[in-house]
Amino acid sequence: MKPTLVILAAGIGSRYGGVKQMDKIGPSGESIIDYSVFDAIRAGFGKVVFVLNPRIIDDFREIYEPRLKNKIQTTYILQELHNIPEGISYNPERVKPWGTGHAVLVAEEYVKEPFAVINADDFYGKEAFSVLANFLTNPERKPNEYALVGYKLANTLSENGSVSRGICQSQNGYLTDVVERTSIFRKENQIVFEDNNEEKPLNDEDIVSMNFWGFTPLFFSQLKRDFIQFIRDNAQQLKAEFYIPTVANNLIKSNEASLRTLTSNDQWFGVTYQEDKAVTIDKVAQLVEAGHYPKNLWV
């Protein structure tokens, strides 16, 4: 059974200042999503599910349906605020989506096979997709054995501002904890993060989560249980978000699941800020020049 790729593309980048999911960064007008889907196809994925914001779904389908036709099976679904358990009302002033965990949950009806989850605006690289595909298709893998593809912290920073990253703790190849750190940046020769207005050091070699996960359909029931509790506690909040790492930590602590820590030698890059776009275009051009990708992905 071929695995499915779930792409979280519902965010409207406030720091970026636009819809970065569809921004052109390749030599023939490709977006980062194009490269992710291209890498997924050659790694053996059989379907891609796009989780989208209602504001962009029409434009999104107009772009990607022609490109991906006869290349891979595609499904387009919406992450909407009202898609929560019955009997719970939320703050009518809320506009922010409920977070990455909720985005995955809305895909439940469309995913019946092992699946990967990625962000739409992160470039993960060919090897990362291959490593995770091999894990997901391993017949000896248990249904409650999941995975995270991690990257070295030093390779995931932006030159144009601070970033948030999930710092991973592992033992014997399995994840033991993910701690979300915000406002991470390089100061002189040291990577630091801000905590209560105090700068604290991090290690260049720390493995971080870039939201590249591998799950089985069992994960949906665990996700749904935790989301029900989250929404009961936070329905009236304007900005509270339900994150995948939070659920992963809960499953690890309760011994309901294990998460393999997989690593890739690929260079991650992404577009957190508008100023990151020029750097991303240059890095993609270098990969094309080196022969890792064709100049036009879909010809």
3-state secondary structure string across 245-281: HHHHHHHHHCCCCEEEEEECCCCCEECCCCCHHHHHH
Alpha carbon distance 142, 173 (integer Å): 16
Alpha carbon distance 241, 254 (integer Å): 22
Alpha carbon distance 51, 99 (integer Å): 12
Which distant-in-sequence residues (6+ apart) come within 8 Å of 257 by Cβ?
144, 145, 146, 218, 219, 222, 248, 251
Domains parsed from the chain with CATH numbers: 4-141+210-244+266-289 (3.90.550.10)
pLDDT at residue 14 in the model: 46
Residue reference for tokens 């290690």: 203
CA dihedral of residues 92, 94, 97, 101 (deg, nearest 10): -80
Which distant-in-sequence residues (6+ apart) come within 8 Å of 269 by Cβ?
122, 123, 276, 279, 280, 283
Closest CA to 129 of 287, 289, 284, 7: 7
| CA–CA distances in Å: residue 125 to residues 84, 92, 195 | 34, 40, 31
The secondary structure of residue 33, as a DSSP letter, is H
* CA 250 to mean position of chain CA atoms: 19
DSSP E strands, 132-277: 145-152, 163-171, 174-187, 190-195, 198-202, 207-215, 258-263, 269-270
Which distant-in-sequence residues (6+ apart) come within 8 Å of 109 by Cβ?
none
pLDDT at residue 20 in the model: 61
pTM of the predicted model over 0.75: yes
pLDDT at residue 12 in the model: 54
pLDDT at residue 155 in the model: 86
Does the CA dihedral 258-203-273-296 come out positive or negative?
negative
pLDDT at residue 127 in the model: 94
User: What is the rounded end-to-end Cα distance, in angstroms, of the chain?
Assistant: 27
Divide the 299 residues of the chain into consecutive groups of 10 and give the mean pLDDT of each group. 94 50 90 97 98 90 94 96 90 92 96 97 94 97 96 88 90 92 91 93 93 97 96 95 93 96 85 84 96 96
pLDDT at residue 19 in the model: 55
Are the C-beta atoms of residues 112 and 257 closer than 8 Å to each other?
A: no
* CA 198 to mean position of chain CA atoms: 28
